[in-house]
Structure 1
């Protein structure tokens, strides 16, 4: 009986030691992951065409921290996944990952570049993943990668439809969109109310009149194609 008691005590001691070791290992490390990743990959897609005149465009991804909190800013490392990338090195800049002190959620910013004419006819993508360095280790499995998909192909914005098209901006065509962005500095009306869109459209009309911009047929003033008043 005494032997059995000693044996049980040894087992319990071993379990406690293992649990202590696990806590110490976890608390001595910091783990990073992309919280918005689904099925292992968080993606952002855009077209430089929707940013007239822009040679660069920056996209952002949230990065989450588990483990010890930071008392100072620390760098983390991401690298390109070649097998999941079609963009050329000149199409983007390697991001510098810095997780800031006191935060549990930070941002990774990736800058893409519009320097190749090929982007007007083809879509490319670049995939980054978190890799270990002296400060951080990749965290939750399946949440280590992000992808940016981009091009410079002419396309109608998804938000230019419905009541916004019928009552505010009128028919879409590339030149009208480009002048709208130049006039207002706005290239995305997703979630914007009709009253807010109307204010932008009125600003657009002032610009069209001031600059005597012609419409689709080259003869009718473009301002006459804007239904809002």
Structure 2
């Protein structure tokens, strides 16, 4: 339903018979969080867990933006604010570009938000971002002007590390082995569960080779092993 709501809002902005509405929208460019168009009603937040990136202490999240109105001929600065009363993330947990710009001659762009891993992220925290008006943009579109980012650093066994993965490819889960898998297993190793059987085998064999080459051990000092052969 979100795409149809957005189109209806745009139509109202352009064709409303209300004089007040015409005055407030006439001649301006507007930004909106475009990825909300395809989000379900109960999935209108970006969710990130550092657990899925065991080697990273910082993550860059790209948030899609769309433009209503004529594209700019030059890069146009825009403003993103934090709705503090609806944000539980601490300032040290995120970094927003100080002077973001919307690229010229385009109707789409991305805001690059940096998330920072700290010891306090033992449960979900949320960051509510809001598009604000400035000298270049008149503001945003209702229902598409804010977006919530929910994130944590809770360490847990990935859901895909099931009985089959344990018995055939990787053996018993451990945090040290998960870190080694991501480091040595090749591209996409962090999301091992999305691979097909051949890719899983190759990934597990790369880990096995790294164990032999570097003498990798578990956190308790025991030798790391995998069942793949």
Superposed, 1:95-106 pairs within 5 Å as 95=97, 96-106=99-109
> Which runs of structure 2 are paired with 1:78-227 in the superposition (5 Å)?
78-95=80-97, 96-114=99-117, 116-119=118-121, 121-161=122-162, 163-184=164-185, 186-189=189-192, 191-214=194-217, 219=222, 221-223=223-225, 226-227=226-227
Task: Rate the CA distance shift 1:24–1:86 in 2: closer, same or farther, 3 A.
Answer: closer
Structure 1 consecutive aligned stretches of length 4 or more whose deviation exceeds 6 Å: 21-25
| Stretches of structure 2 lacking an aligned partner (at least 5 in a row) | 1-16
Matched, 1:48 2:43: no
TM-score, length of structure 2 as denominator length: 0.77
- The root-mean-square deviation of aligned C-alpha atoms, in Å, is 3.1
Structure showing greater radius of gyration is 1
- Structure 1 distance, partners of 2:219, 2:81, is 46
- 1:91 & 1:82 partners in 2: Cα distance? 13
Q: Extract unaligned runs of 5+ from structure 1.
A: 1-17
Distance 1:162 1:71 in 2: 56
Equivalent residue for 2:75? 73
Alignment length, in residue pairs? 208
Between the aligned partners of 2:47 and 2:91, the Cα distance in structure 1 is 18
